[in-house]
Structure 1
Amino acid sequence: MDADLTTGERIRALRESRGMSRPVLAQLCGRGPDWLKKIETGERELTSHPLLLRLATALQVADLSVITGTDTVAAAATAAPLGRLTHPGMPAIWSAVMTRSLTPAGSPVTAGSLQGRVDQTWRLWHASAHNRTEVSALLPDLIRDGEHAVRVLDGDQRRQAHVALSDIYRLTGQATAYVAPAELAWVVADRALAAAQAADQPAAIAAASWNLGNILRETSYAEEALRVVEEAAALIRPHLDGAPDDWRGIYGALQLHAAVTAAREGQEGDAWRYWEKGDQVAKSLPASYVHPSTVFGRANVDFHAVSLDVDLRKAGRALGAADDLDPDVMPSVERRARLWVEVARGHLQRGDRTAALHVMQMAHRIGAETVAYTPSAREVAASLWRSAPRALRPEAARLAVDVGIATA
């Protein structure tokens, strides 16, 4: 290898020398080809040590320096290990999803009672600091009862049951995000969309598309994520006049989803254009309105303004916007915790580790499982553990342990 080659150029040379296509190597790393293209062209830095290890394994390279050369990315090898995320509720959820019976099996249920249980579980997801554990305990029975309902009910009851089943699979996607094997994540997203389409209900299809967009974005299929949410927005848009508030709420959530996706791709103009569309939707709804699953509403639109600026590396502007927010107006514990994680990221971008540690401790007190099972939060905690001021290292180490990051 030429010593002057960048990490991306080295990866491309190794890939091509092995006769591998970009999609194949990306798939072996659990990412999309667009992600790998940006790494190879230098448009995106490779800062994740676990991804570096996946690339090395896929390329059959035993010495990481063959990939990193003298690039600063080699320093990632000294990072605190973030570990593989697991949750004790996964085996039961896996069984309910992946061993679906071909014959009706489950408790007798009406569409209305099923939807009531789903709505209650969504409220639990947003209200509990231990939402993954509590919701995961309820999901296996919900999944089985939902599958049973769509097989034994008829007519309008069956369509309503399909809407409820779609909601169940969307909630399953939320509760297992970052801990589910890739195959389960895709199955859950596909079933949520299929159930919504079987119900032939635009709002349910839009909500399932929002969920699918999350999966696509988190696996680096940004273009596909945008396409899905834009198509869903176009599908529901003609039905918004006179529609229930929740239909407009999911339409607004699609705009915010697109805004975040664009921001993470560095498309600042598009990001704020989508955000402004979401802002207009929020203004058309009652001031106290909150969508039951996506928590779209006035507060969430304002929270997203902070997230966009952090993703766009406009830390000063993000922190200024955060100063003007009242987090308590957001009824979702999960979303409040995520806001403080974004604020901590902003402080880290400015080099203020003391403030970042303080804010991350707040985030953990508000939503312990949100912090423990969100990769961006874990990365902040790991960074603080590595580089906190000497006087704060014991606190940073305690946070790392609480979040589940090995510090030994």
Structure 2
Amino acid sequence: MDIPAELSTGERIRVLRESRGMSRPVLAQLCGRGVEWLKKIETGERELRSHTLLLQLAAALQVADLSVITGTDPGGTAQPVQLGRLSNPVMPDIWAAVMTRTLTPPAGGPVDPAVLQGKADQTWRLWHSSPRNRTEVGALLPALIREGEHAVRVLDGKQRRAAHVALSDIYRLTGQATAYIAPAELAWVVADRALSAAQAADQPAAIAASAWNMGNILRETAYPEEALRVVLEAADLIRPHLDDGTPEDWRGIYGALQLHAAVTAAREGNEGDAWRYWGKGDQVAKNLPQNYVHPSTVFGRANVDFHAVSIATDLRKSQKALGLADDIDPDAMPSRERRARLWVEVARGHLQRGDRTAALHVMQMAHRIGAETVAYTPSARVVAADLWRNSPRSMRAETSRLAEAVGVATAG
């Protein structure tokens, strides 16, 4: 379609919707949102800031180039829309392990829940240490899922509850490893099973950790209010158990829930709430040993500082974000995956200031640290695509190499 250049994003969505004979309720339903939400977007009453929702709208409207909706770069380089999820060869086996769970009693002997928990913990460590974490962890998950499901069926009493904790950890890791590559139905099944297993174990820390995971799914599928409700409810659940004698990991997951709430609030533009929740997480970190790191969420001193950069960037306070980043020692964070995401946030801050040279430099650092983290993180792909489209000719060769390495299409 030839859409007038002066139209806003909301007006473009309305024109595209009407040109396809699509009602507002139908389009809203395809995006998993309400009619009033779409009406506010189309009329300009609400700003559409979520890249995930932009992609959902583009796919629902069958628009292959995102710039048709955003109105950016008219007539120039295409901004391809992935009409499906990002692909990874580990998905078929994980799908089979999750979605073909047998209803009959499993064959095989008893399982030691301590051994199962050790395997889960070891796989979490691999997730945080490998530059190819999705591929390597994804290859291990199918057998681990089946072993965990077997354990909770054949054990009883305390051993069964321990196995449920391990199974919840396995499903939480499955959610992390398949984010942005799993079909939506699998993502929801995995998140729900992690929470159900934790509730079966009747262990508050496991329930809180699975709620942190459920909050990730809700936030990334554009349900920020529900995401905030889930993590704050989980924080309320675990708070009465926190005292000087509480295991460090219980306090660590409580701090991780506060940081989750902070990011959710920041992405919604609620600056006061974002820094208030961050402050609660910061206080938790101050009361833990300086070198403490939660084994799965990597909550600790470094992660609190990393989140401050993310929050400032999401609030579009780029000067503050970059100033905070200057004071961080990235090597204090043992998670390679989290270090890579920090540099993506720094790159976003540089882009907000219009400094594409600096953004390219730190994106290259992020890719060297965690190639698959960058390739499978939507915000990183957006930065790589922006750099390739909008950088000066003198940077085109380097930005093209980055875009290709990340998997952003450069044809068009």
**TM-score, length basis structure 1:** 0.91
Cα deviation for residue 34 of structure 1 reads 8.0
Cα deviation for residue 222 of structure 1 reads 0.5
Structure 1 gaps, min length 5:
none
Following superposition of structure 1 onto structure 2, how do residues 131-280 of structure 1 map, counting pairs within 5 Å?
Answer: 131-241=133-243, 242-280=245-283
Of 378, 381, 390, the residue aligned with 1:375 is 378
Q: Residue 256 and residue 28 in structure 1: after superposition, are their counterparts in 2 closer, same or farther (change >3 A)?
A: same
- Matches of 1:53 and 1:32 in 2, distance apart? 17
Cα deviation for residue 406 of structure 1 reads 1.7
State whether residues 354 and 389 of structure 1, in contact with CA within 8 Å, keep that contact through their aligned partners in structure 2: no
Q: Residue 312 and residue 404 in structure 1: after superposition, are their counterparts in 2 closer, same or farther (change >3 A)?
A: same
Cα deviation for residue 14 of structure 1 reads 7.5
What does the per-residue CA deviation read over 1:223-276, in whole Å, with 9 as the maximum and x for residues that have no partner?
Answer: 000000010000000011121000000000000000000000000000000000
What does the per-residue CA deviation read over 1:382-407, in whole Å, with 9 as the maximum and x for residues that have no partner?
Answer: 00111122111101101111111121
- Matches of 2:260 and 2:39 in 1, distance apart? 23
- Matches of 2:234 and 2:340 in 1, distance apart? 28
What does the per-residue CA deviation read over 1:302-361, in whole Å, with 9 as the maximum and x for residues that have no partner?
Answer: 000000000000001100000000000000000000000000000000000000000000
Q: Residue 114 and residue 247 in structure 1: after superposition, are their counterparts in 2 closer, same or farther (change >3 A)?
A: same
Q: Residue 80 and residue 12 in structure 1: after superposition, are their counterparts in 2 closer, same or farther (change >3 A)?
A: closer
Partner of 2:58: 53
- Matches of 1:300 and 1:37 in 2, distance apart? 38
Q: For 1:333, give the aligned amino acid.
A: R
Cα deviation for residue 53 of structure 1 reads 2.6
Cα deviation for residue 95 of structure 1 reads 0.2
Of 27, 30, 35, the residue aligned with 1:25 is 27
Q: Residue 52 and residue 171 in structure 1: after superposition, are their counterparts in 2 closer, same or farther (change >3 A)?
A: same
State whether residues 139 and 172 of structure 1, in contact with CA within 8 Å, keep that contact through their aligned partners in structure 2: yes
Partner of 1:301: 304
Q: Residue 15 and residue 300 in structure 1: after superposition, are their counterparts in 2 closer, same or farther (change >3 A)?
A: same
Identity of aligned residues (%): 75
Note the aligned Cα RMSD (angstroms).
2.6
Cα deviation for residue 56 of structure 1 reads 1.9
State whether residues 147 and 165 of structure 1, in contact with CA within 8 Å, keep that contact through their aligned partners in structure 2: yes
**TM-score, length basis structure 2:** 0.90
- Matches of 2:241 and 2:8 in 1, distance apart? 51
Query: Structure 1 stretches (4+) deviating beyond 6 angstroms?
Result: 1-5, 13-17, 32-35, 61-65
Cα deviation for residue 2 of structure 1 reads 12
The farther-off stretch of 99-108 and 76-85 is 76-85
- Matches of 2:153 and 2:286 in 1, distance apart? 41
- Matches of 1:139 and 1:193 in 2, distance apart? 18
Q: For 1:177, give the aligned amino acid.
A: A
Structure 2 gaps, min length 5:
none
Partner of 2:86: 85
Q: Residue 85 and residue 247 in structure 1: after superposition, are their counterparts in 2 closer, same or farther (change >3 A)?
A: same
Q: For 1:354, give the aligned amino acid.
A: T
State whether residues 266 and 314 of structure 2, in contact with CA within 8 Å, keep that contact through their aligned partners in structure 1: yes
The farther-off stretch of 288-297 and 32-41 is 32-41
Of 293, 310, 325, the residue aligned with 1:290 is 293
State whether residues 126 and 137 of structure 2, in contact with CA within 8 Å, keep that contact through their aligned partners in structure 1: yes
- Matches of 1:309 and 1:343 in 2, distance apart? 10
Higher relative contact order (CA 8 A, sep 6+): 1
Partner of 2:324: 321
- Matches of 1:248 and 1:14 in 2, distance apart? 49
Does residue 392 in structure 1 map to residue 395 in structure 2?
Answer: yes
- Matches of 2:49 and 2:307 in 1, distance apart? 26
Q: Residue 394 and residue 131 in structure 1: after superposition, are their counterparts in 2 closer, same or farther (change >3 A)?
A: same
The farther-off stretch of 30-39 and 344-353 is 30-39
